[in-house]
Homo-oligomer: A and B are copies of this chain.
């Protein structure tokens, strides 16, 4: 169809839906089933999550990633709390202030040149504890992989969660692309969540081949007690829930989540490897998941964007971001590389 731009490198959410997932949605479109999640599709999807992440979790489906993040934070806080995160965090930069609006909490940011926060960064915000004039730190939120494409190792996560727990803090993981992190590290999802001390997880779907739908996972089921009310009041309870549930069921079947993510990662590696050979273009961040950041001459950007759309990450530095997705093909990568090469050559 002419309406879709040719595949580009703008974002994994510019992609469509993985065929297996779409097929599951089509097959689910039969008869009536109870709305709002009281249905067998949802029970099966929840079971898949429990197999993957632990039998004692609680998992709730919501519409979108911002919703998953904000609702997870709301479940864990009261308005006089604060949330500590990287200054590049999606919750700080890309959610139009939704966390503040809906939780009432203050966000405290940590400089994070590579997207990752450290114990020292958290420590800098741990003052005024018990002092009523000061919003009380309550949650540390990390993104895995980070917004800059880097990945926390299980050990790095453990260091953060141990420190956080010793200081009475809960750790939330924004896992909008968590599958890419697991695939990149070649570990189980548990290794970077439950077993690394994560308390609360936003589990991403739309960036890994789903149409819509994300999940909020509680590793401590107690803390999910009131969550059903929070989800409804926060406008994240889908009536025809089965169509989110079957997407997750398909994604978690036969390791589709892993395959999609590792493919996207591989395409990013390929792209990065080829880009490195082009003089005049410099890769700026470690390529650890499915994003490649690079600086290139600014006048080349508009022409390239016309063929393969992508976003400028940092205008003043002429730094762009190229994202690969489950459906990126090697041919597209090579074709894009060719375009890059020509553009540079013509300069």
Chain A residues within 8 Å of B, Cβ to Cβ: 1-8, 10-11, 13-17, 19, 22, 25-36, 39-41, 44, 63-67, 70, 78-82, 92-98, 100-102, 104-107, 109, 127-128, 132-136, 206-207, 211-212, 226, 228-240, 242-243, 309, 315, 325
A44 to B2, CA, bound (A): 13
Which listed residue (B8, B78, B232, B240) contacts A133, Cβ 8 A? Answer: B232
Residue pair A98, B234 in contact (C-beta under 8 Å): yes
Secondary structure class of chain A's binding surface, majority of residues: loop
Nearest chain B CB to A110's CB is how many angstroms away?
12
A52 to chain B, nearest CB (A): 21
Chain B residue with Cβ nearest A237: B132
Complex Cα distance, B88 from A93, in Å, reads 21
Assess whether A14 is in contact with B34, with CB atoms less than 8 Å apart: yes
Complex alpha-carbon distance, A152 and B277, angstroms: 52
Q: Are B105 and A232 in contact (CB under 8 A)?
A: no
Contact B31 A17 (CB under 8 A): no
A96-B233, A97-B135, A212-B240 given; 20 more Cβ-contact pairs under 8 Å: A1-B27, A1-B31, A3-B33, A3-B40, A3-B242, A4-B33, A5-B34, A8-B32, A13-B35, A22-B29, A36-B132, A78-B226, A80-B230, A94-B133, A94-B134, A97-B106, A98-B235, A132-B228, A132-B229, A135-B233
With a CB–CB cut-off of 8 A, which chain B residues contact A30? 1, 4, 16
A32 adjacent to B17 (CB under 8 Å): no
A35 B16 Cβ-Cβ under 8 A: no
Q: How distant is A326 from chain B, measured CB to nearest CB, in Å?
A: 11
Cβ 8 A contact of A16, one of B100, B236, B240? B240
Residues of B contacting A11 in the complex (Cβ-Cβ under 8 angstroms) = 35
User: Which of A32, A39, A79: most chain B Cβ within 10 A?
Assistant: A32
Nearest-neighbour CB distance to chain B for A171, whole angstroms, equals 20
Q: Are A135 and B10 in contact (CB under 8 A)?
A: no
Which 3 interchain pairs have the tightest Cβ spacing?
A4-B31, A97-B135, A80-B229
Known: A4-B30, A27-B1, A240-B13. A235 touches B64 (CB 8 A): yes
Task: Tell me the smallest distance from the CB of A304 to a CB of chain B, in Å.
Answer: 15
> What are the residues of chain B within 8 A of A82 when measuring CB–CB?
97
Which of B19, B41, B93, B232 contacts A98, CB < 8 Å?
B232
**A96 and B135 within 8 A (CB):** yes
A132: chain B residues at CB < 8 Å are: 36, 96, 228-229, 231-232, 237
Q: Which residues of B contact A15 (CB under 8 A)?
A: 32
* Complex alpha-carbon distance, A26 and B4, angstroms: 13
Distance in angstroms from A163 CB to nearest chain B CB is 18
| Chain B residues, CB < 8 A from A35 | 10-11, 13-14
